[in-house]
Amino acid sequence: MDFLLSGFLKALDLLITLDSSTWSAVAASLKVSTISMLISLAAGLPLGFALGYFDFRARRFIRTCVDTLLSLPTVFIGLVVYAFITSRGPLGEFGLLFTLTGIAIGQVILALPIVVALTASTVENMDNRLRLTLMSLGAGKRDLVVTCLWEVRYGLLAAAVTAYGRVMTEVGISMMVGGNIKWHTRTITTAIALETGKGMFANGIALGLVLITIAFAVNISVSFLRQR
């Protein structure tokens, strides 16, 4: 229990003194989660839109598959990605193991189903009148997709925030694929795992609080984008 308080004080200390290994972990976490989020959004938003908007026979089945992918444990994803990018594996020659890029690949696999499923739900619940209105005003197919996505932007924002939270806080992929190499692939979450494993609980708490502070800052920025 006492490590909670010492952890809190330690967190302040790490942040204020700009401890370089902490900031390196922060930078690594932010770098890799931002890249994986951008890719997941770029691919997931149109896919989610298609899944929510169009009616086709395999729709329910695909939706069920996507929802099932939401339950993938991160260690499992890490293991599968490792199997592909290990030196002996099919993608071994690209040297992706123990790199942030490798972690990003795993995190995209983690975040993509979240973005797709939540976007599809948002689009399904779209007002009927929206389509009528847009077509009445002369929207073509592309206008329709773009404007619909913009109209439901608050729902999409929620999807992005959810996915981002999941990606920032995962350990399984970062550990398995990244290897927790100091200065290179040590993220905040793997650093927490390391400190906890060493029994340095206060350090673990400290890093956890740093992570929460960052998440808080991100969410504050996001809330400015929300109008109502």
Pick the binder of other proteins from 132, 213, 216, 219 (CB under 8 A): 132
- Minimum CB distance to other proteins smaller for 13 or for 127: 127
Rounded to a whole number of angstroms, the minimum distance from the CB of residue 102 to other proteins is: 11
Spell out the SS3 assignment of the chain. Answer: CHHHHHHHHHHHHHHHCCCHHHHHHHHHHHHHHHHHHHHHHHHHHHHHHHHHHCCCCCHHHHHHHHHHHCCCCHHHHHHHHHHHHCCCCCCHHHCCCCCHHHHHHHHHHHHHHHHHHHHHHHHHCCCHHHHHHHHHCCCCHHHHHHHHHHHCHHHHHHHHHHHHHHHHCCCHHHHHHHCCCCCCCCCHHHHHHHHHHCCCHHHHHHHHHHHHHHHHHHHHHHHHHCCC
User: Max Cα separation, the chain?
Assistant: 65
Q: How many residues does the chain have?
A: 228
C-alpha to C-alpha distance for 39 and 74, rounded to whole angstroms: 18
Single residue of 5, 42, 65, 135 touching other proteins by CB under 8 A: 135
64, 68, 133, 219: which one binds other proteins (CB under 8 A): 133
If binding is defined by CB under 8 A, does position 57 make contact with other proteins? no
Residue 56 in the binding site for other proteins (CB under 8 A):
no
In the complex, what is the shortest distance from the CB of residue 172 to other proteins, in angstroms, rounded to a whole number?
14
| 125-129, long-range: CB < 8 A, 24+ apart | 125/155, 126/52, 126/53, 126/151, 126/152
**Contact between 42 and other proteins (CB under 8 A)?**
no
Chosen residue from 30, 91, 157, 158 binding other proteins by CB under 8 A: 30
Tell me whether residue 57 or residue 129 sits nearer to other proteins (CB atom): 129
Range in contact with other proteins (rule: CB under 8 A) among 16-24, 59-67, 109-117, 156-164: 16-24
Which of positions 78-117 make contact with other proteins (CB under 8 A)? 86-88, 92, 97-98
Rounded least distance, CB 42 to other proteins, Å = 17
Instruction: Check binding of 171 to other proteins (CB under 8 A).
Output: no
- Paired tokens of 20: 């370089």
Amino acid at 95: G
Q: Return the residue of 63, 69, 151, 157 that touches other proteins, per CB under 8 A.
A: 151
Nearest-approach distance from CB 106 to other proteins, in angstroms: 15
- Sites of contact with other proteins (CB under 8 A): 20, 23-24, 26-28, 30-31, 34, 86-88, 92, 97-98, 127, 129-133, 135-141, 143, 147, 150-151, 153, 179-184, 194, 197-199, 221, 224-225, 227-228
